[in-house]
Structure 1
Amino acid sequence: MTIIETFQSRKIHFQNIAEQFQKQYNQWAVFRAILFVVVALVAYFFYEFYDFAYSLLVLLVGIALFLFSVTKHLKIKYLRDKNRVLSTLNEDEIQRLDNSFTRSETGEKFIENQHFYASDLDIFGKQSLFKLLNRTHTFDGAKTLANWLQHSADTTEILLRQKAIEELSPKIDWRQDLEASAMLIEEVSESTDKLLAWNDTLANPKINQPLFKFAKFLPYFTIPVLLAWLIGIVPIYFALALLIVHGIILKQIYDEVTLALDQTNRIAGAMKAYATLSELIVEQDFQEEKLQTLKSKIANASTAIRSLEDILNKMANRTNPFFAFVVGVPTLWDILYFTKLENWKENHRESLPVWLAVIAEFEALNSLAGYRFANPDFIQPSLINESVWLKAKALGHPMIRASKRVSNDIELVGEGKTIIITGSNMSGKSTFQRTVAINIVLALAGGVVCAESFECSPLQVFTSMRSNDSLEEGTSSFYAELKRLKQLIDEVAQEDKNTPSILYFLDEILKGTNSKDRHEGARALMLQLHKTSASGFISTHDVELGDEFDEQDFVKNYSFSSEVINDDLVFDYKLRQGVCHSFNASELMKRIGIEM
């Protein structure tokens, strides 16, 4: 069975199960309605013709049956919704195989300012590597995946991720169960920043004051007085006086409770999802070291997270005016649950960030494992312990459909080396550079790459491909490119033995100036970079630059070209050795109507 057939089969399977649960859901809805009517009629019958006690007994039995039916109905609804989500997940995988993305998340909110390569390589955006990989649903999971794509890991961590991904990849039932469990809770995508900010604050000193320590016993006196007033034993002013005292006490801590609720309320709904995710992780058997280590960190998370969810939900009841007056004031509800919330924080302050981070890391690993499963032809790259090492065969761009993808071989080994790529317009120079760079990003994140073989050393990718002018900053596109090149020069100057060598990708270098300055500037930059540990790729229309360095041992010339066949301009997108001296600009201009 092919991959697409696997996803199609699973989509239909879960869709059928969801339809079965929908039928059960409808049946139980009818049963609940009938039950309500029957209990009401029977209770009325016994009330009219027999003793009231029989009527009360019928009502109690009816309420018990009704509550059971509600519980059963909700469980069926959950199973129906989960199978619908699982069907949707497999449809999403089918679309993803064709680089069509149904989810709206672009990851752009995670992009770092002046990042070395994220914008040039389309790491984030509507058609991006992030969207191709992303199978996360929590905010922290998406943030972790984005971080992995923007910062390469060290060799040890990459190898651990590779083994973890290899183990997770075939566990499609577990992986999709993890996804679906998160998707069922809308709030799971909310940022946890406020929750973690609350978690970092010290315990509120007020809650330990004698007033609040003793106040929690006051409802044991007040509530009996209220009941006594209701049955006419004590006058109303006794009850009112006690409620006023309660109000004064609650006023002392109102602002603190409101702030805590503001920091935690939006994420409260997600706690159920985090608890379920932690349970799924703990219940699964793992063999690889990284997965076992992560699992051990979250062993006791589920119960504590569910406890936090319960506290937050009960605290949120205070926002209902009726509840606040009828229950909140008489029971000193805010003090009771604010105390529980503060105690929870003290008991789990150090654990909460760890739990959230572990769940996030599992989601990121799941994303790369799902990517590996969906692309069985892609390979796990080999890491080489050298300064600059890149060897790849049949290297293709993962964002280009397999039917249109053209693959090429490339090799770059050693510090201070440059590959110059010349070629005609639209021949594939820029795409090739992005192909090499994005596969390195994937490899150093721990993912599989689009190649027949791929070896690379730990490298710091740096690109200068899209230099746009800025009206706000008053800069031209040429000056924007110069600023980018200065960033490269500064980074190279700061390199030390403890950081990876820079591998740069410079597209149409210095295109915004005249040919003489472009040539001299590119030549000077290449010679300057040659003296450093950095190596990289430069694409250019400057044939003379390639010719000038053709005999230099630190430079290799490659090219792309096009040809006219039967009056059609044809590109084969194949990389060739040597400088390209055949260009197509005149032909392209003729085709749009410029008389040459």
Structure 2
Amino acid sequence: MTPLETFQSRKIHFQNLAEQFQKQYNQWAVFRAILFVAVAAIGYFCYEFYDFAYTLLVLIIGIALFLFSVTKHLKIKYLRDKNRTLSTLNEDEIQRLENRFTRTETGEVFAEDNHFYASDLDIFGKQSLYKLLNRTHTFGGAKMLANWLLHPAETTEILNRQKAIQELSEKIDWRQDLEASAMLIEEVSEPTHQLLAWNDAPANQKIQQPLFQIARFLPYITIPVILAWILGFVPIYIVLVLMGIHGLILKQIFTEVTVALDQTNRIAGAMKAYSALAELIVLEDFQEEKLQNLKSKIAEASPAILALEDILNKMANRTNPFFAFVVGIPTLWDIQYFIKLENWKANHRENLPTWLAVIAEFETLNSLAGYRFANPTFIQPSIVAGGVFLKAKALGHPMIRHNKRVANDIELIGGGKTIIITGSNMSGKSTFQRTVAINVVLALTGGVVCAESFECSYLQVFTSMRSNDSLEEGTSSFYAELKRLKQLIDEVGTGKQNKASILYFLDEILKGTNSKDRHEGARALMLQLHKTSASGFISTHDVELGDEFDEQDFVKNYSFSSEVVNDDLVFDYKLRKGVCHSFNASQLMKRIGIEM
């Protein structure tokens, strides 16, 4: 069964289940209404014609049945919503196969200024690699996926990710269950930095003072006194005095409780989702060592996170004025639950960041595993040792639909090497460079690549493809490109590349100046880069540059071309050896009406 057939089948299956649960949901809604009316009628009948004990018995049984029906109703609602979510999830996968993206997240919030390649390769954006891969829903998962795409992993980590991704790709039921469990709670996408800031903050010393530690037991006196007043055994002024004392005590801790809630309240709703995700991870049986190690770090997370959610939700009740007056003040609610919150932090503060990070990593691995499952023709790249090593066969761009994708072979081995690509306009030079670069990024993330075979070493991709002018900075596009090239020169000159050799991609190099300066500048840059461990690709219309270096052993010339067939330009987007001496600018100008 193809991925498309799998997703279509699962979409229909979950849609049918959702409809069944909707019918059950409606039936239980009717049953609850009938039950309520029946209990009220029978209770009234017993009250009128029998002893009050019978009425009380009917009410007790009726309330028990009603609470049971509410619990059952909520469970059916959850199952309905989850199956709807799973159906939606598979529809998203179907659309994703055609590079149509239903989710709104672009990843641009995680973009880094002056990044080595993110902007040129469309790592983020409306039609981006991030959108193609993203199956995360927690903020931490989304951020980690972006970070993996922005920063290449080292060889050992890449190999471990590959094994984990391969195992997860085969667990479609578990993977989609993980994703759906996160999708059910909207707050799960909220940033966690305030929660972690609260977790990292020192223990609150004020709540540890004897006043509050002793005062927490005061309700054991106050509540019986209130009951005694209700029954007429004590005067009201005693109650008022005790309530006043409670109010004064609560006032002492009001600010601290408010600050703690401000830091945790936005993420409180997501705690149930985090707990469910942790439980799914713990209950699953994994074979790969990386997955087992991650699972071991989260063994106790689910009940602890659920306990945190319970504490935060109960603390938040203080915002209800009626609750605060009737329950909050008599029970010293703020103190009781602030102490519980501080105790929770003392017990789990070392674990919480790890738990969130593990959930985020499983979501990120799940994204790459889902991508692998959806593209069974893509292959797991081989990561080799050494400097610059890149060898690919039938390499295609993963963002180009399979029926329009043209694949090419390429090989670049050793430092100080340059591949010059010449060719006519629109022939595919830029797309080819992006094809190579984005597949290297995928490979160093741990993902599969769009190729028949693919080998590369641990590399740092660097691109200069889109150099735009800036009115704000007062720079032309040419000067912007020069700044970008200086960044490359500085990087290869530092020798601080975290063991990764630079693999550069320079598109239409120095296009913003005259042909003489462009030729001399490109020639000088190539000779300068030849002295370093960096290697890469340069595309240009300057055929003389290719001809000049055609006999040099550190340069290889490749080209793309076009041909005119019945007055139409035809492109085959196939990479050929050698310099291209056939260009199409005059034909393109004629087609728009310029008389040549």
Which TM-score band applies after superposition, normalised by the shorter structure?
over 0.9
Partner in structure 2 of residue 188 of structure 1: 188
Kindly indicate whether residue 78 of structure 2 is the aligned counterpart of residue 78 of structure 1: yes
Q: CA deviation at 1:231?
A: 2.3
Q: 1:497 to 1:125 in 2, by over 3 A?
A: closer
2:466 partner amino acid: R
Between the aligned partners of 1:298 and 1:349, the Cα distance in structure 2 is: 14
Contact map agreement 1:519 1:545 (CA 8 A) in 2: yes
Q: 1:497 to 1:187 in 2, by over 3 A?
A: closer
Contact map agreement 2:491 2:497 (CA 8 A) in 1: no
Q: 1:497 to 1:184 in 2, by over 3 A?
A: closer
Q: CA deviation at 1:228?
A: 1.9
Partner in structure 1 of residue 525 of structure 2: 525
Contact map agreement 1:386 1:457 (CA 8 A) in 2: yes
Q: Count matched residues.
A: 596
Aligned 1:157-176 pairs, distance under 5 A: 157-176=157-176
Contact map agreement 1:382 1:456 (CA 8 A) in 2: yes
Q: CA deviation at 1:244?
A: 1.2
1:455-514 CA-to-partner distances (Å, cap 9, x unmatched) read: 000000000011111111111111111111111111101125852100000011111111
Q: 1:438 to 1:69 in 2, by over 3 A?
A: same
Partner in structure 1 of residue 564 of structure 2: 564
Kindly indicate whether residue 104 of structure 2 is the aligned counterpart of residue 104 of structure 1: yes
Partner in structure 1 of residue 473 of structure 2: 473
Partner in structure 1 of residue 140 of structure 2: 140
Query: Aligned with 2:412: secondary structure?
Result: strand
2:426 partner amino acid: M
Task: Please tell me the root mean square deviation across aligned C-alpha atoms, in Å.
Answer: 0.8
Partner in structure 2 of residue 340 of structure 1: 340
Aligned 1:299-314 pairs, distance under 5 A: 299-314=299-314
Partner in structure 1 of residue 198 of structure 2: 198
Q: CA deviation at 1:332?
A: 0.5
2:114 partner amino acid: Q
Partner in structure 2 of residue 377 of structure 1: 377
Contact map agreement 2:461 2:502 (CA 8 A) in 1: yes
Aligned 1:227-242 pairs, distance under 5 A: 227-242=227-242
Kindly indicate whether residue 493 of structure 2 is the aligned counterpart of residue 490 of structure 1: no
Aligned 1:305-454 pairs, distance under 5 A: 305-454=305-454
Structure 2 spans left out of the alignment, 5+ residues: none
Partner in structure 1 of residue 248 of structure 2: 248
Between the aligned partners of 2:240 and 2:113, the Cα distance in structure 1 is: 59
Between the aligned partners of 1:589 and 1:256, the Cα distance in structure 2 is: 71
Q: CA deviation at 1:2?
A: 1.5
TM-score w.r.t. structure 2 length?
0.99
Between the aligned partners of 1:499 and 1:114, the Cα distance in structure 2 is: 21
Aligned 1:529-544 pairs, distance under 5 A: 529-544=529-544
Between the aligned partners of 2:69 and 2:595, the Cα distance in structure 1 is: 81
Partner in structure 2 of residue 91 of structure 1: 91
Between the aligned partners of 2:33 and 2:433, the Cα distance in structure 1 is: 65
2:204 partner amino acid: N
Partner in structure 1 of residue 573 of structure 2: 573
Contact map agreement 1:459 1:500 (CA 8 A) in 2: yes
Between the aligned partners of 1:587 and 1:304, the Cα distance in structure 2 is: 70
Q: CA deviation at 1:233?
A: 2.0
Between the aligned partners of 2:417 and 2:243, the Cα distance in structure 1 is: 81
Q: CA deviation at 1:245?
A: 1.0
Between the aligned partners of 1:332 and 1:594, the Cα distance in structure 2 is: 84
Between the aligned partners of 1:16 and 1:263, the Cα distance in structure 2 is: 41
Between the aligned partners of 1:447 and 1:57, the Cα distance in structure 2 is: 64
Partner in structure 1 of residue 155 of structure 2: 155
Query: Aligned with 1:537: secondary structure?
Result: strand
Between the aligned partners of 2:503 and 2:261, the Cα distance in structure 1 is: 48
Query: Aligned with 2:120: secondary structure?
Result: coil
Q: CA deviation at 1:226?
A: 1.5
Q: 1:497 to 1:136 in 2, by over 3 A?
A: closer
1:60 partner amino acid: I
1:263 partner amino acid: Q
Between the aligned partners of 2:203 and 2:496, the Cα distance in structure 1 is: 44
2:142 partner amino acid: A
Between the aligned partners of 1:477 and 1:319, the Cα distance in structure 2 is: 55
1:518 partner amino acid: R
Aligned 1:1-16 pairs, distance under 5 A: 1-16=1-16
Partner in structure 1 of residue 209 of structure 2: 209
Aligned 1:449-468 pairs, distance under 5 A: 449-468=449-468
Between the aligned partners of 1:443 and 1:270, the Cα distance in structure 2 is: 33
Query: Aligned with 1:450: secondary structure?
Result: coil
1:27 partner amino acid: Q
1:217-264 CA-to-partner distances (Å, cap 9, x unmatched) read: 111111112222222222222111111111111111111100100110
Contact map agreement 1:392 1:410 (CA 8 A) in 2: yes
Query: Aligned with 2:451: secondary structure?
Result: coil
Structure 1 spans left out of the alignment, 5+ residues: none
Between the aligned partners of 1:489 and 1:237, the Cα distance in structure 2 is: 82
Between the aligned partners of 2:496 and 2:2, the Cα distance in structure 1 is: 47
2:183 partner amino acid: M
1:480 partner amino acid: A
Query: Aligned with 1:574: secondary structure?
Result: coil
Contact map agreement 1:106 1:126 (CA 8 A) in 2: yes
Partner in structure 1 of residue 127 of structure 2: 127
Contact map agreement 1:396 1:451 (CA 8 A) in 2: yes
Partner in structure 2 of residue 499 of structure 1: 499
Query: Aligned with 1:99: secondary structure?
Result: coil
* Range with bigger deviation, 358-367 or 498-507: 498-507
Partner in structure 2 of residue 509 of structure 1: 509
Between the aligned partners of 1:6 and 1:53, the Cα distance in structure 2 is: 60
Contact map agreement 1:14 1:84 (CA 8 A) in 2: yes
Between the aligned partners of 1:64 and 1:388, the Cα distance in structure 2 is: 71
Between the aligned partners of 2:558 and 2:285, the Cα distance in structure 1 is: 49
Contact map agreement 2:422 2:542 (CA 8 A) in 1: yes
Partner in structure 2 of residue 548 of structure 1: 548
TM-score w.r.t. structure 1 length?
0.99
Between the aligned partners of 1:273 and 1:510, the Cα distance in structure 2 is: 51
Query: Aligned with 2:472: secondary structure?
Result: coil
Contact map agreement 2:153 2:445 (CA 8 A) in 1: yes
Between the aligned partners of 1:492 and 1:318, the Cα distance in structure 2 is: 59
Provide the identity percentage. 84
Partner in structure 2 of residue 582 of structure 1: 582
Between the aligned partners of 1:241 and 1:307, the Cα distance in structure 2 is: 34
Between the aligned partners of 2:113 and 2:239, the Cα distance in structure 1 is: 61
Partner in structure 1 of residue 295 of structure 2: 295
Between the aligned partners of 1:113 and 1:73, the Cα distance in structure 2 is: 50
Between the aligned partners of 2:555 and 2:328, the Cα distance in structure 1 is: 77
Contact map agreement 1:495 1:501 (CA 8 A) in 2: no
